[in-house]
Amino acid sequence: MKDLNNLIKALEKIISELNASGKVKSAAFFTIRYDEIMENGDEFSIETIETLSTCRAMTQYANFSQKEEMLLDDVVDNAIAVKNKVP
């Protein structure tokens, strides 16, 4: 599934960026979801995708940089794309 692969790549980018900027708790949030998706592949939990598709407000309380906000937008947009493909 192309959309799921795009979401995985977006998660890898934001995890890397957040870890590099010392935002370990925020990185852990995404790492947990990333690990869940990697463990389950196409049998992912819809709750995981739902959580990723609605986490945009995180930028407000986690003091994200503009680059981190753009990476988060990519995660959310890709999660929505995956969610929209689920029957």
Over residues 8-59, the pLDDT tens digits come to 999 999 999 999 999 999 999 999 999 999 999 888 889 999 999 999 998 8
Burial 49-69 (b: 16+ CB within 10 A, else e): beebbebeebbeebebeeebe
Domain that holds residue 38: 2-85
What is the reported pTM?
A: 0.94
Look at residues 3, 1, 21, 84 and name the one whose alpha carbon lies nearest to residue 11. Answer: 3
Into how many domains does the chain fold?
Answer: 1
Cα gap 9→18, rounded to integer Å? 14
Cα gap 21→70, rounded to integer Å? 15
pLDDT above 90: residue 87: no
In this structure, the chain runs to a length of 87
